[in-house]
Amino acid sequence: MRRFFILLHILIFTALCAHANMWGLQSDFIDEVTRNPRGNTDTLYLLAPIVAGEPIYYTLHTDDFKNTARYKATIPQFFNAWFEGTLAQIKQAGREEEFADIIPILTRGADVRLTENDEQSRLIVHFIPLKKIQEKFGKGVAGCVDSSQRPLHMYLPTNRLRFILLSFGLQTQTSVSVHEVGHTLGVSDQYRRARANNSDALFSEDTGAPSIMDKDNVITCDDATGLINAIDLVRGTSRGEGWKGLCASDVHTYQNGLTENRTGYRFITDGYQHITLESYQNGKRVSSVVYDVDLRNSSSPFVRYTPVSVEQADAQGRPIKAVGSDGETFFYSYVYNAQTELIVKNGKIKQFNRNLRDSKAKGAAPVYQRNTFFGQDGKLCMLSGEHKANNEREVQFLRGIQPGEANAAGYTAEQAITRMFDKTGTLQVYLRQQAPESTFPLLTPQDNNTVQQEDLSFKIKTAALTAEQKEFNEQLDNWLFNLKDFFN
């Protein structure tokens, strides 16, 4: 997803992105590549079939009919900007001999063909007004690739003049389109607001030069380094003892898409009830273990499991495997400013935590986010919190979440409660809701929304609650008011 510099956000966005110089690959692209047999081109992402020389069929959807011919002509150009740009970076570095095996692939580029048949298509391209993109994906979004659909759907802006004016000429329709094509190939965002959320913990690197996946308008040496690593993953190429990145500032050596000798863990979630722990060593996956959440866990999310000794650490000295005082095993992964923690005991998951810190965030941008998944009373639970720079805080608890189609996150919940506090610590909003309504009817229809209030006892129909539900409600209140504990 590409964000642009609208007037209200230009100062914030410029400050956030000034030092975001790095490359990364998307976790779901890595999952697809490492799980599928080599040579399998029946994939969601488009790099594997392109590398195999297969044509990429796309369909075009737009009501901007006067520019349809231009869109048809430019879509193949957006794809081939990646291959031509990477080839140019290799030649600029004088390393044609080193990459002789992939130069034919880069020279051939992507064979992108228009079709009128959506069923034949591997990509649906929507050229729509910028306003509609932002209505669908959020304010400040300039373009987006929706990987939740098969085939991929790519949304690009039509109104070039308005777009250029709003971005002060710092971005163009072409640069946004090439950025979004990068996502279809498996490359991740590199601007601060998004990079920790869609970049893989191991197949990413936070050193280098500016990137079109951040705010640059052309393919850079970082983009080229990322694409070469992605191609090597698709082809299963190790390049002997490894290769140096294309940026002069890149001191790393890459092998099998990873920094040489990089050791660590990846977490693959399946509705958060099952988590696969993959172990990597020297650029190769050496093990894969599936753990289930301990749904009979009696611990609250405020129970802090503390490691007492570190068994493994990464190159920066951060723990990646540790043990606890009561037989727990801790596994960690890191991507930019995010830490993910898996806590296992007796072969079951006690907690799965994700912590995101951003000390450079400005204004109302979050400086700390935490998400904890755990089991209790046979239910899968989630507690999430956000602590903003102005000291506003929000915590939400969901109990009994299961895979489903109830909301954008893909889960249903028997009970959900949110607390929001202003910068003085005063409770401002008390929200009580449930989904589906037939499962846990606590409120009358007019109450099933955010309610402003000063008193916590006002709207809930406590007489309709069972003893078990009343006890659970009291327990939630005890947990959710321990915000300082949650954010420590």
Lowest mean pLDDT among 160-169, 217-226, 257-266, 316-325: 160-169
pTM: 0.81
Lowest mean pLDDT among 80-84, 113-117, 271-275, 417-421: 417-421
Structure confidence at residue 378 (pLDDT): 82
State the number of CA atoms in the 13 A half-sphere of 400 facing the CB.
13
Question: Does residue 40 carry a pLDDT above 90?
Answer: no
Question: Does residue 346 carry a pLDDT above 90?
Answer: yes
> Do you know the residue count of the chain?
488
Lowest mean pLDDT among 32-36, 176-180, 325-329: 32-36
Residue 224 CA to residue 58 CA, distance in Å, equals 24
Structure confidence at residue 405 (pLDDT): 44
CA–CA distances in Å: residue 449 to residues 19, 402, 440: 41, 22, 15
Give the model's confidence band at 207: pLDDT under 50 very low, under 70 low, under 90 confident, else very high: low
Which segments within 422-469 are labelled E, that is strand?
A: 427-435, 451-452
In the chain, domain spans? 2-253, 264-487
**Backbone torsion region of residue 186, taken as left when φ is above 0, otherwise alpha when ψ lies between -120 and 50, otherwise beta:** left
Burial pattern 243-281, b for ≥16 Cβ within 10 A else e, equals: bbbbbeebebbbbbbbbeebbbbbbbeeebbebebbbbe
Task: Taking the CA atoms of 40, 42, 43 and 49 in sequence, report the sign of the dihedral they define.
Answer: positive
Pick the closest to residue 333 from 278, 255, 270, 282 (CA basis): 278
Residue 356 CA to residue 25 CA, distance in Å, equals 19
Question: Does residue 402 carry a pLDDT above 80?
Answer: no
Lowest mean pLDDT among 39-48, 50-59, 298-307, 383-392: 298-307
Neighbours of 420 (CB within 10 A): 16
Residue 21 CA to residue 209 CA, distance in Å, equals 5
